[in-house]
A and B are shown apart, each in its own frame.
Chain A
Amino acid sequence: MDAVDKNPIIRLFHVHKRYGPKNALIDTTLDIFKNEFLCISGPSGAGKTTILKLLYLGEPVSEGQVLVDGMNLSRIPPKRFHLLRRKFGIIFQDYKLIATKTVFENVALVLEAMGKKRGLIRKKVRSVLRTVGMEERHNSLPPSLSGGEQQRIAIARAVVGDPLIILADEPTGNLDDVSAEVIFNLLKGFHARGGTIIVATHDKDLIRKAGGRTVYLRQGRVENITNA
């Protein structure tokens, strides 16, 4: 926690999220700080993934306000959602890699969407793939990779655009211990370079190693917040 900048990069004010009659998140108020490694934990259906979705506008809030890096999300028109999403690098539980594109193309997509030059894209994607140890597989298609390898590609894609914040939904959930360790080290590396990380996870080992605050959710409410 010592390295954490005390300026909140994300603020949630009395946020509610309802899916029909079901309350997924109830009156949640939370500040997340720059360069924080925050874990969100709790049983299934507690609202961990919902918080992440609200942050990148994967879902709209039902009530309350969310601010990300000074942007009030309720005031962003759909045509400008991409500007918010470029602040995030998102690691999905199911990886969400495009099966018909190669590893290189999947990672390059982020930079292409930003309008970066081809030379820079090539250089940066190779460098990121080297960091996650997947340079040799740059021409492979995702379905031919193992779960751990796919997760590493998902991390490469999440960090390649130099985002302010990484959102990771159960990044080690489907992985063996060795792969989980690799993934954790990659996240830790991003954090060490000044990035903010928000991880929704059940993984007690990951929470312990992260060493930051953990928000415990139960039935859509913040039950408690602990410091490592």
Chain B
Amino acid sequence: MKAGMMTLFTKRAIQDILGNRFLNMVTVITIALSILIVSSFTLFFINAMDVMDVWKKGIRIMAYLKPEPDRKNIADIRHTIQSIDGVQEAVFISKAEALNLLKAQMHRQASLFENLKENPLPDAFEVRIIAASQRSEEVELLAARIESLPEIEEVEYGQSWVGKFTNIINLFRLAGYAIGVLFFMAAVFIVANTIRIVLYSRREEIEIMRLVGAADGFIQTPFYIEGLILGALGGIIGIGALFLIFLLISANVQQSPAAGMFQLRFLSIKSTGGILAGSMFAGWLGCFLSLKQFLRS
């Protein structure tokens, strides 16, 4: 298509938008709200996954050994545990070390330990897991295999709730996809409706254009450009509003005690571009549906 024609079509699309200001404003706001909601979900997931990554780095299994007065096979047990797939490292913590650690952690309640006649804690291995095996089902399997060793009495993986939390996040992710699809459809239908109203208000003009020899492309292209502009404006406003909300939230998070644990981040350029492209596509699709119906009639 010639550049001159594109200029003409774009000019006509802008004239149309300005000529139906209220209608187009409502459309842009609806698209912007849809984009705001969908991109809020995306932003939440990105940051939730970051937090999960931080937490996952702490996932470890404690394997408590059976009581044995004269333990000599520590190196063998360590070797057995380390040879299990998914285990990164097994560090032995003797019952004496464990008690010292406990005392250090509970130094304010030191009196509790004064009357101990013997160390009640078992010898243990702290088992660290390789990153690829940190999914909750795999941690569970790994724990079961370690527990099945004859020297092991009990295993504990205190942060197994991370796995459960991951499942909840995944559930939210699915809900996010569903909501994304719903809002995408809402954006498509609102654009389709706007374009349909404009088409009907200009049906006489369109009929005249056809009679004087205008091809369908000549009639349709300004409407497609209009849909793309509405989608782009809605997308930019939606993402802009999300950015403002993000700035407010991140300013509050920075002042909270959890500030050091993780850094909130905004959508990447790629994600922002993807959302904007999706928004423009919704505008285009809305136009396509209306024009198809209108020109068929």
Which A residues are closer than 8 A to B by beta carbons? 56, 58, 79, 81-83, 85-86, 88, 90, 92, 96-98, 100-101, 109-110, 112-115, 117-118, 157, 161
Verify if B116 is at the interface (C-beta below 8 Å from A).
Answer: no
In the complex, B205 has a CB within 8 A of chain A: yes
Are B213 and A86 in contact (CB-based, < 8 A)?
A: yes
Partner of B4 from the list A81, A114, A117 (CB cut-off 8 Å) is A117
A113 and B212: CB pair below 8 A?
Answer: yes
- For B215, list chain A residues within 8 Å (CB): 79, 82, 113
CB closest chain-A residue, reference B218: A113
Q: Does B2 contact A (CB under 8 A)?
A: yes
Nearest 4 CB-CB pairings of A with B:
A113-B214, A86-B213, A85-B213, A82-B215
Pairwise interchain contact B205-A98, C-beta atoms closer than 8 A: yes
Determine the distance from Cα of A98 to Cα of B214 in the docked complex, in whole angstroms.
Answer: 14
Tell me whether A96 and B208 are in contact in the complex, defined as CB-CB below 8 angstroms, given that A79-B216, A113-B215, A115-B2 are known contacts. yes
Known: A79-B216, A100-B205. A112 touches B211 (CB 8 A): no
Question: Can you pick out 19 interface pairs between chain A and chain B where the beta carbons lie within 8 Å of each other?
Answer: A56-B211, A79-B215, A82-B218, A85-B210, A85-B211, A85-B213, A86-B213, A90-B212, A96-B208, A98-B205, A101-B205, A109-B212, A109-B214, A110-B212, A112-B218, A113-B209, A114-B213, A117-B4, A157-B212
Which of A81, A83, A88, A118 is close to B210, meaning CB atoms less than 8 Å apart? A81
**Chain B residues numbered 54-85 whose CB sits less than 8 Å from any CB in chain A:** none
Which chain A positions have C-beta within 8 A of B211? Answer: 56, 58, 85, 90, 92, 96
Q: Which residue of B lies closest to A108 (CB)?
A: B8
Closest CB of chain B to A223's CB: distance in Å? 29
Chain A positions within 8 Å of B204 at CB level: 98
Q: Which residues of A contact B210 (CB under 8 A)?
A: 81-82, 85
Partner of A85, one of B205, B212, B216: B212
Task: Tell me if A112 and B216 are in contact (CB < 8 A).
Answer: no
What string of 1s and 0s marks CB contacts (under 8 Å) between B1-40 and chain A? 0101100100000000000000000000000000000000
Which residues does chain B contribute within 8 Å of A118, judged by CB atoms?
Answer: 4
CB distance from A36 to the nearest CB of B (A): 22
Central interface residue in A79, A101, A113, by most chain B CB within 10 Å? A113
Measured between alpha carbons, how far is A110 from B204 in the docked complex, in Å? 16
Chain B residues within an 8 Å CB radius of A98: 204-205, 208
Question: A82 CB to closest chain B CB, in angstroms?
Answer: 4
A170 to chain B, nearest CB (A): 16
Known contacts A92-B211, A110-B212, A113-B209; can you find 6 more A-B pairs with CB under 8 A? A86-B213, A109-B208, A109-B214, A112-B8, A114-B213, A115-B2
Shortest Cβ distance from residue B178 to the other chain A in the assembled complex, whole angstroms? 38
Residues from chain B with Cβ under 8 Å of A92 in the complex = 211
CB contact list, B139-181 vs A, under 8 A: none
Per the bound structure, the CA–CA distance linking A179 and B106 in Å amounts to 108
Question: With A98-B208, A118-B4 in contact, do A113 and B213 touch (Cβ < 8 Å)?
Answer: yes
Cα separation A228 to B283 with both chains bound (whole Å): 59
Residues of B contacting A115 with CB < 8 Å?
Answer: 2, 5
Chain A residues lying within 8 Å of B4, measured Cβ to Cβ, are: 117-118
The minimal Cβ–Cβ distance linking B5 to chain A, given in whole angstroms, is: 6
**What chain B residues lie within 8 Å of A110 (beta carbons)?**
212-213
Residue with the greatest number of chain A CB neighbours at <10 A, chosen from B5, B205, B212, B213: B212
A161 to B216, CA, bound (A): 18
A157 contacts across to B, CB distance below 8 A: 212
Min CB–CB distance B21 → chain A (angstroms): 15
Closest to B295 in A: A78
